[in-house]
Amino acid sequence: MTPDRSSAAAAPERHFVRRAMRLPLLTPEAEAALAQRWRDAQDQTALHRLVAPHMRLSVAMAVRFRHYGLPVADLIQEGNLGLMQAAARFDPAREVRFSTYATWWIRAAIQDFVLRNWSIVRTGTTAAHKSLFFNLRRLRARIEGNIGNAGRESLSSDGRRILARQLKVNESDILHMEGRLAAGDRSLNAVIGLDEDASWQDLLVDDRPDPETIVMTRHDGALQRRWLGAALAELPERERRILQARFFTDQAITLDRIGAHMGISKERVRQLENQALNRLRRRLGDIPDLQPSLAQ
């Protein structure tokens, strides 16, 4: 983009900022009256007059988050969305100034936008991790300065322990976040060194089984199922029904329920189950993979 085009693109942003900063602030009485009109009658004019003087909060908050590498104009827009959320939820009866209430929503909207767009990898999935993401640099400098390690690019073990206690996270979380903040996103298609035929994705390890292993596993499973079915067919009907109820259903049926259904005691069901398992073990002694399943 040429300098003229860049200036032209930034002109609307500068105009918005100047306009937002020039609008006069509302008195508490006017603010409460406008909020009440919007809440009770959904008066769009009242909403505009309530929100417009507070757009300066979106500008100020966006400037605070500009060092995350995102366009300030986008941050301002997200802040304005938070401002509208605040207006939709604001209750003038609580006797809290709208600016105080809106600041929280604006900050939350901008922080969420930063977390969504700072990296293609989702960062800060919990409240503690979000706090770590936004406070790590600031608290790291303060903590290392207090313990005499000012100027370090990473936290010392003592500093990491102090920070973990303050933010209520694990030290491993801090190590992970330090690595995320220190390194940007990297394309897996980027070439390695001077060799244009090799890329980072060529170094990824595939933990999935190879096709030969998959085929052999399926073949062995089918063979074992066939042998097991033949062995079960040789059992007396009552023993076979007990094993099917205990081991071959989505949820094992209790001994009590089986006994009540067959008209025998729970202890008798246990005896028949053990007897049937012993028969299967003798019949399937040459298939060791089935032994753990039958022993449970």
- The answer, yes or no, to whether residue 54 has pLDDT greater than 70, is yes
Distance (Å, whole) CA 55 – CA 50: 10
The per-residue pLDDT for 295 is: 47
Q: How far apart are CA 117 and CA 111, in angstroms?
A: 10
Confidence label for 60 from pLDDT (cuts 50, 70 and 90)? very high
pLDDT averaged over every residue in the chain? 79
pLDDT score for 294: 47
Checking if the pLDDT of 116 tops 90, the result is no
Q: Is the pLDDT of residue 1 over 50?
A: no
Which residues, including other chains, have CB under 8 Å from residue 276's CB and lie 6 or more apart? 235, 239, 240, 242, 243
| pLDDT score of 276 more than 90 | no
How does residue 124 score in pLDDT terms, banded at 50, 70 and 90? low
- pLDDT tier for residue 192 given thresholds of 50, 70 and 90: confident
pLDDT band per the 50, 70, 90 thresholds, residue 230: confident
pLDDT at 82 over 90: yes
Given a cut of 90, whether residue 33 has pLDDT beyond it is yes
Query: Global pTM?
Result: 0.52
Place of tokens 């918005």: 16
pLDDT 10s digits, 236-249 = 889 888 988 888 88
pLDDT digits (tens, 9 = 90+) for 129-177: 677 777 676 666 666 555 444 444 556 677 778 777 777 777 777 777 7
Residue 221 confidence class, pLDDT cut points 50, 70, 90: confident
Whole-number Å distance between alpha carbons of 233 and 243: 12
Report which listed range, 61-75, 153-167, 176-190, is most confident: 61-75
pLDDT bucket at 55, cuts 50 / 70 / 90: very high
Tokens of 197: 């035929």
